[in-house]
Amino acid sequence: MNILLVGGGGREHALAWKISQSKLCDKLYAAPGNPGIAQYATCEDVKDNDNAAVVELAKRRKIDLVVVGPEEPLAMGLADEVRKAGILCFGPSAAGARIEADKAYAKHLMQTVAVPTAEARIFTDLESAKKYVLSRDHGVAVKAAGLAKGKGVVVCPEPYQAIKPLEEMMDKKVFGHAGDTVIIEEMLTGQEATVLAFVDGVNIFPMPPLQDHKPIGDGDTGPNTGGMGAYSPVPIIDRPTMDRIEREILVPIVDAMKRDFGRYEGVLYTGLMFTPAGPKVIEFNCRFGDPECQPLMMRFKGDLVEAMVAVCKHQLDKVNVEWDSRPAVCVVMSSGGYPGDYKKGHEITGIDQAEALGDDIKVFHAGTAMMNGKLVNTGGRVLGVTALGETIAAAQKRAYQAVEKIRWTGCYCRKDIAAKAIKSS
């Protein structure tokens, strides 16, 4: 098969690495890709959010399967356009992508089928939203309803703290039109975790659970980011808990989407908070997470393309996917200043030395580019240094050993990725 991977971040590098290993993959292209992806694919100068250009490229390169990584093109209907062209596409329709692109819609859908989630109110008027939070006695979470690249959530332990983010989202438009509608939820407490699943519209194949680290600072301090690291599996999620998540959350929401618009096809990402009352949904996403995809692909055994084609052909029940028993830990290395302003163009060194430590280590590119023959940082999240180990502690140690080999001016990473798992194990 000729395969086109849409996207150019760390998630897509991990997918490209695994797709290239498939016996079904004859030629891999990426739009636009990155220097890491270029090791496995022919990178094309096509933006991932230019649907017409992506479809034209797929036709020109005689693509048999398009794999869409990011949420934005999915929300814009790329999967619909690809399928109209008669090409298989791994990723949900625009209707399916609403589960992430419109958090108000997702909240309504959860409420209709009694999926456990935080109590919430939806607002389109700033003054009404401010009045509501000031009437609350307990903490709240303020969420931009639209796509905000993982940064549109502010947790406010005291209700008055919600005034500033509400003004920034709804009045100052720091997230553009994503903040035209906001959701104000009760603040949930507990440990967060993520469960992703392959979904073909009917069949559901859950993947091993992960835990992401959203805040920028050690100890979960500071502003939220797109994710500073992740590990898998998660000690707080045992087999009975996974069965409960599938029974009470995944099955009802997939069935609800099927009744609402038809088959949801692709990956369904479920962000969970493990409260004293049990797991509750924080959010759904319509694609692999980033950085969750990196440790998942390290643990994935088998043919990823085979699984993706089975999703596209509604034959997921015929595929058997296995996972490496070893845990995986991903540490994100970011540009200094992220998630605020940061400087670009600094030369990155040491990746070869990091990967030379062993086959259990892989460095995935996220925000990098080649400039005058040198690899430089171009994004906030730059690299995802990922390692396997016999235990979570061993995987963490290997990941940080690799991190120590890599340098550029101002580089930063959290020092406590997976510490919660090690403490609880």
Sorted by where each begins, the domain ranges of the chain are 2-93, 125-180, 188-425
Residue 288's contacts (CB-CB under 8 Å, 6 or more residues apart) are 11, 15, 69, 196, 267, 269, 296
> Would you say residue 358 has pLDDT above 90?
yes
pLDDT of residue 224: 86
What's residue 152's pLDDT? 87
Mean local confidence (pLDDT), 170-185: 94
125-180 and 188-425: same fold?
no
Q: Given this model, what pLDDT does residue 349 score? A: 98
pLDDT digits (tens, 9 = 90+) for 216-272: 999 999 988 999 999 999 999 999 999 999 999 999 999 999 999 999 999 999 999
**Tokens standing for residue 331:** 């540490």
Four-CA torsion 285, 286, 291, 292, nearest 10 degrees? 80
CB-CB contact of 414 with 228 (8 Å): yes
Please report, for residues 99, 283, 399, the alpha-carbon distance to residue 108 in angstroms, rounded to integers and kept in the order given. Answer: 10, 12, 40
Bridge partners of 224, per DSSP, are 215
Task: List, as own/partner pairs, every contact residues 72-80 make where C-beta atoms lie below 8 angstroms and the sequence separation is at least 24, other chains included.
Answer: 72/48, 72/147, 73/6, 73/48, 73/49, 74/101, 74/266, 74/286, 74/287, 75/100, 75/101, 75/147, 75/286, 76/49, 76/51, 77/51, 78/6, 78/51, 78/54, 79/265, 79/266
Sign of CA pseudo-dihedral 190, 192, 196, 201: positive
Cα 367 to chain centroid, rounded: 15
What residue type is 46 in one-letter code? V
Map tokens 């259990």 to a residue: 360
Residue position matching structure tokens 């356009």: 81
Q: Within 13 Å of residue 241, how many CA atoms lie on the same side as its CB?
A: 18
CATH no., domain 188-425 = 3.30.470.20
Single-letter residue type at 195: V
Looking at 3.40.50.20, 3.90.1300.10, 3.90.650.10, 3.30.390.50, the CATH number of the domain 2-93 comes to: 3.40.50.20
- Tell me the per-residue pLDDT of 102-141, one tens digit each, with 9 for 90 and over: 999 999 999 999 999 999 999 999 999 999 999 999 999 9
User: CA of 127: how far to CAs of 84, 173, 416, in Å?
Assistant: 44, 15, 40
Residues 12-54 have pLDDT tens digits of 999 999 999 999 999 999 999 999 999 999 999 999 999 999 9
Residue 400: the pLDDT is: 98
Residues 358-369: what's their mean pLDDT? Answer: 98
Please, are residues 76 and 51 in contact by the beta-carbon 8 Å criterion? yes
- The reported pLDDT for the residue numbered 149 is 76
Fold of 125-180: Dna Ligase; domain 1 (3.30.1490)
Q: Give the H/E segment covering residue 153.
A: strand 153-156
Tokens of 257: 């989407």
DSSP assignment of 168-229? HHHTS-TTGGGGSSEEEEEPP-SEEEEEEEEEESS-EEEPPPBEE--EEETTTEEEE-S-SE
**pLDDT at residue 401 tops 90:** yes
pTM, two decimals, is 0.94
Rounded Cα–Cα distance for residues 102 and 181 (Å): 9
Tens-digit pLDDT profile for residues 138-156: 999 999 999 887 778 899 9
Mean pLDDT (whole number) for 367-388: 98
Q: What is the pLDDT of residues 57-105, one digit of tens each?
A: 999 999 999 999 999 999 999 999 999 999 999 999 999 999 999 999 9
